[in-house]
Structure formats: structure tokens, C-alpha cells
């Protein structure tokens, strides 16, 4: 059983380190965020942010993505990797938005999950960042790794990790926790060589599977 005081210390430590953490995908509206999040699969946010300015200038509405020749869309997002599947997902998503939602991104989890290319992580990103609604906890590779190292969960799938985190964390922290832990994973709790000396939550870290100087 994880003690509530331990969770509070972890949250305070993350607040000290990352008080202004936010989504690192550049966007101006829910549609842009949805497209950027689909593009971010198996790709860095930095790369996505280099591709999207021109993409967003060219395609301003869901209808634009729905009717563009798929070959053109593929070429415009090629550098993000897996561009064929991503293009099909984006175009399928856009067509469903036009057909069922008047071209607008729905702010209902169930409706988001019906869109091509949208799994729970993507839906949580849109719900939390675009609409400010805590429908769940975004579990990307950083949140998955850091949460397990901190001993907040022992689960081995993102879905089960999310369920554990939703039970442990106050609901009003679900959105910010993900932003903070993503920053923590990118800058301090690195996958191969974590910078434990700079970590404000080391006291409460189980350091599972991590070899650090003077430690297991």
C-alpha cells in the first residue's frame, strides 16, 4: 500500500522542479493538437513541431484533411515516420469529424475513441490539454517509466498503469502530473542514465532496475 503522504511528497517535488510544465506539442486549437498527437507516435515532439507549422497553415479545418489527396498528406508528414499509417489515421479521423461532429473535435472521451488513430493516450491528451477536462492520466513512455521507478505502480501495460495512477492521484492533479513527469523523464529520469543527483523526488524513488553510483 502506497501511503498518501508519499504521494504528496512526490507531487511537491515535481512542483518544485516543473512548476510550469505544459504540453510540448505546438498547437492553437483542439484539431491541431489532435493531429500533432497522432503524428507524435514513435516520433519526438521536436520533430513534430518542425512539421506542423506548414501543415497547419495548409490545412485549417477537418474538411481540409478529409479531402486532400492522401499522397500529398503522406509527403507533408513523411519525416515523422510511419507516415502512411499516420496519413490514413488523420484523414479517417477528419472524415469522421465532418460526418458526425460538424468538423469539430468532440469533448467526450467515448466519441474521441471512435476516431481513427485515437487510442486512450491521445484522447487523454486532447481532453486534458485542449479542454481542461481530467478524463484520465496520459501514460506515455516517460510516465510509464518514471511511475514504475517511483513505485507508484508495478503494472506492465499503459492501461493498467493509468488505472493505478488514477486511484493514487487527486483528480485535480491528473493533467499536470503527466506534463510534469514527461518533463522529468526527458530531463532527469532518463531511460539509461538517470540524473539522480538532480532529482527532487529521489527520497521516494524505488529506483527499480536503475543502477546509480552508490546504489542498487
Point out the catalytic residue in the list 15, 45, 64, 140. 140
Reading the block at residue 98, the C-alpha cell is 465532418
Query: Residues for the chain: how many in total?
Result: 216
How would you classify residue 213: left for phi > 0, otherwise alpha for psi between -120 and 50, otherwise beta?
Answer: beta
Distance, in Å, from the CA atom of 206 to the CA atom of 132, rounded to the nearest integer, reads: 31
First-to-final CA distance of the chain: 22
Point out the catalytic residue in the list 20, 45, 121, 204. 121
Note if 164 is an active site residue.
Answer: no
Exposed/middle/buried for residue 73 (C-beta within 10 Å: 0-12, 13-18, 19+): buried
- Residue among 134, 131, 100 at smallest CA distance from 34: 131
Instruction: Name the phi and psi angles at 170, rounded to 5.
Output: -60, 140
Q: Is the torsion defined by CA of 33, 38, 184, 2 positive or negative? A: positive
Note if 20 is an active site residue.
Answer: no
Give the helix/strand (H/E) hosting 49.
Answer: helix 45-58
Q: How far is C-alpha 94 from the geometric centre of its chain's CA atoms?
A: 20
| Residues with catalytic roles | 121, 140
Amino acid at each position: 500500500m502506497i501511503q498518501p503522504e508519499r504521494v504528496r511528497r512526490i507531487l511537491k517535488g515535481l512542483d518544485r522542479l516543473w512548476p510550469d510544465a505544459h504540453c510540448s506539442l505546438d498547437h492553437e486549437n483542439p484539431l491541431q493538437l489532435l493531429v500533432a498527437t497522432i503524428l507524435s507516435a514513435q516520433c519526438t515532439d521536436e520533430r513534430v513541431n518542425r512539421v506542423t507549422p506548414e501543415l497547419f497553415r495548409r490545412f485549417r479545418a477537418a474538411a481540409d484533411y478529409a479531402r486532400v489527396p492522401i499522397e500529398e498528406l503522406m509527403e507533408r508528414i513523411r519525416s515523422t515516420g510511419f507516415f502512411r499509417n499516420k496519413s490514413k489515421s488523420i484523414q479517417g479521423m477528419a472524415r469522421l469529424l465532418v460526418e458526425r461532429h460538424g468538423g469539430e473535435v468532440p469533448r467526450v472521451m467515448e466519441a474521441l475513441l471512435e476516431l481513427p488513430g485515437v487510442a486512450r493516450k491521445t484522447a487523454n491528451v486532447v481532453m486534458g490539454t485542449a479542454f481542461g477536462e481530467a478524463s484520465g492520466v496520459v501514460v506515455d513512455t516517460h510516465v510509464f517509466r518514471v511511475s514504475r521507478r517511483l513505485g507508484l505502480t508495478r503494472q506492465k501495460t499503459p492501461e493498467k498503469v493509468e488505472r493505478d495512477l488514477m486511484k493514487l492521484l487527486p483528480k485535480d492533479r491528473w493533467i499536470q502530473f503527466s506534463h510534469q513527469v514527461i518533463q522529468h523523464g526527458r530531463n532527469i529520469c532518463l531511460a539509461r542514465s538517470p540524473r539522480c543527483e538532480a532529482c527532487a523526488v529521489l527520497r521516494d524513488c524505488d529506483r527499480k532496475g536503475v543502477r546509480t553510483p552508490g546504489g542498487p
